[in-house]
Amino acid sequence: MPSLVCAKWLSQNYSNPDLVIVDVRKPALYKQGHLKHAVNVPVFKDLFDTSNGYKIPKLDFLQKVFSDAGIDNKSKVVVYGDNELIWAARFFWISKVLGHDEVALLKVGYGNWKKGMLQISKKEYKAKPTKFIPRINSSIMETKLSTMLAINKDVIIDGRPAAYYNGLKSHAKRFGHIPSALNYAGIQNYDVNGSGMKSLAQLKKIYKNLPKDKKVILYCEDGADAALNFLVLKELGYDASVYDGSWLEWGNDFNLPIEK
């Protein structure tokens, strides 16, 4: 299953009994209209532990989220969100962490496809619950310690906008970035006007200066932009992983080094 799918691909595979469609938008937007048979997994309710600095939720919680969404080891999951795409990418990365590799991101945000190509519904869809069995892939998730050890050794990428990387803005107590980190904002992976993900040829040009013989550790503010960078770099053949605590953890720890 490809990591990125277009609306045409989805329309051609809609009848697959193993297909699970996940909508990560807010419940209010979901109720206004969503893809038929899409289950709502609100990103800030189900994909972040807001009591723990916006880190990945605990395993038993995620196991229930995936089971309630009807996902099992046979499922082919397509996730979509709004035009930013980063929130859907968060689900993509978490799915990979849980060992479910049959997952794809819809290349465009909700509604940005040819009229009539995909069926829309306003009726809440309840999937038949499954027993989701996680198979944790710890190789794509970094900690504060492993990220600190990677400074000036591996490639570290900050996925926040330049103003945050340069220390002009911050949602944490401190301003700046992790030492030796390069700035590749997650927003450069897609068109903010709604046409969706850039082509792989365009993305290859963006990341052409990154060495492929080194591990790439990704972070951002809360792990969403980093998740989209993760998807892209994996598609381009890089050994990438995400520092889950990201800047909200690093920037609030005064014992850790920073640069501006």
Kindly give the residue spans of alpha helices, DSSP state H, lying in 143-223.
144-150, 162-165, 200-206
Q: Does residue 178 share a domain with residue 76?
A: no
**How many CA within 13 A on the CB side of residue 59?**
9
Looking at 67, 96, 121, the residue that finishes a domain is 121
Looking at 73, 92, 121, the residue that finishes a domain is 121
**Is the confidence at residue 194, as pLDDT, over 80?**
no
What is residue 82's predicted lDDT score, i.e. its pLDDT?
Answer: 95
What is residue 34's predicted lDDT score, i.e. its pLDDT?
Answer: 98
Q: Give the Cα separation of 47 and 81 in Å (integer).
A: 13
**Is the confidence at residue 53, as pLDDT, over 90?**
no
| E strand or H helix that includes residue 39 | strand 38-40
What is residue 20's predicted lDDT score, i.e. its pLDDT?
Answer: 98
> What number is the average pLDDT over the span 95-116?
96
Q: Does residue 107 share a domain with residue 172?
A: no
Residue 86 domain-assigned?
Answer: yes
Q: What is the domain extent for residue 239?
A: 138-250
Mean of all residue pLDDT scores within the chain:
97
Q: Which of the 8 DSSP states describes residue 96?
A: H
What is residue 193's predicted lDDT score, i.e. its pLDDT?
Answer: 80
Give the confidence band of 51 by pLDDT, cuts at 50, 70, 90.
confident
> What number is the average pLDDT over the span 50-65?
94
Q: Does residue 161 share a domain with residue 236?
A: yes
Q: Does residue 96 share a domain with residue 153?
A: no
Q: How many domains does the chain have?
A: 2
Q: Please report, for residues 5, 62, 76, 148, 240, the alpha-carbon distance to residue 243 in angstroms, rounded to integers and kept in the order given.
A: 26, 18, 26, 10, 10
> What number is the average pLDDT over the span 167-184?
98
Q: Does residue 171 share a domain with residue 107?
A: no
Which comes out higher in pLDDT, residue 235 or 53?
235
What is residue 192's predicted lDDT score, i.e. its pLDDT?
Answer: 80
**Is the confidence at residue 54, as pLDDT, over 80?**
yes
Residue 126 domain-assigned?
Answer: no
Percent of the chain residues past pLDDT 70, beyond the cut = 100
- As a 3-state breakdown, the chain gives helix, strand, coil percent values, each rounded to 5, of 30, 20, 50
**Is the confidence at residue 208, as pLDDT, over 90?**
yes
Residue 256 domain-assigned?
Answer: no
What is residue 237's predicted lDDT score, i.e. its pLDDT?
Answer: 97
> What number is the average pLDDT over the span 129-145?
97
Per-residue pLDDT tens over the stretch 110-133: 999 999 999 999 999 999 999 999
CATH number at 172 reads 3.40.250.10
Q: Give the Cα separation of 117 and 11 in Å (integer).
A: 7
Looking at 75, 94, 121, the residue that finishes a domain is 121
